Amino acid sequence: MITAHLLDMDGVLVRGGQPIDGSIDYVATLVATGKPFQIFTNNSRFTPDDHAERLRAVGFPVARDHIYTSALATARFIELQKPGSSAYVIGDHGLVEALRSAGCRITEYGPDFVVLGDTTSYHYEQIATGAELVAKGAWFLATNPDATGPTERGFHPACGAVAALIEKATGRQPYFVGKPNPFMMRSALDRLGVSAADTILVGDRMDTDVVAGLESGLQTALVLTGVSTRADMGRFPFRPHHVIERLADLGEVIMRK
């Protein structure tokens, strides 16, 4: 029986910063009934407080504890792998704050890790410094493999694309912590205190959301309000458990099972 939800943000709850029809009511029902859920995003730019405030501004009744980001997952990974370590960070304040809160010291002098996240203002000097540190032996982490991110102009090169640049320059592959890495899924489930078998992941991308849920033993639902379409599904050797037009249709699907 499905008792918990992992909900992707962009393409599931909002599109272009605006609520998708019915998504506010669905989240409000989860809150009112006390159902455990996390809003689950690879976007490492913002803190949970930032994400929650942006969602509240358009009507979602959410708090910071409802938000789980790839930045939080990356900080948790570092905390488990090497407590009290240091990192050189290429990214925005959401990633920096998550790492500091996990006890990671931010430095460019002999860091244990180079951690790459999302930002709309990548600076060549930072990328070059990160590549030099990786070449000298720092462990290379990246928050997510997404090659592009949406902007008002269309899209911009995102974490995965910049990671490829550093990999090409150094010959060192990054370890991506965010979706579709099962580590991020397990971390979110641990926060909720629920099992994979009792949880459904709702996303708009076959290549990150659906595959992440399947590899972690969750039920999966693909919504058609974001990136992937019905036609796109044929390109992948796996299928979601459910395909729905929008998040608001999920309740009826779950009740039928």
Q: Which of 8, 50, 118, 146 is catalytic?
A: 8
Would you say 10 and 151 are in contact if contact means Cβ atoms under 8 Å apart?
Answer: no
DSSP conformation class of 148: E
Strand pairing report for 139-142 and 148-151: unpaired
Three-state DSSP string of 212-233: HHHHCCCEEEEECCCCCCCHHH
Can you give the C-alpha Rg of the chain in angstroms? 18
Q: How far apart are CA 69 and CA 204, in angstroms?
A: 16
10 counts as catalytic: yes
Q: How far apart are CA 73 and CA 34, in angstroms?
A: 24
Q: Residue 251 — φ and ψ, nearest 5°?
A: -55, -45
Q: How far apart are CA 257 and CA 254, in angstroms?
A: 5
Residue 244 forms beta bridges with which residues?
223
Q: What does the block give as tokens for 128?
A: 């070059």
49 counts as catalytic: no
Q: Which of 10, 92, 112, 204 is catalytic?
A: 10
DSSP conformation class of 108: S
- Half-sphere exposure at residue 213, Cβ-oriented, CA atoms within 13 angstroms: 28
H or E element at residue 200: strand 199-203
Residues found in the chain? 257
Tell me the catalytic residues. Answer: 8, 10
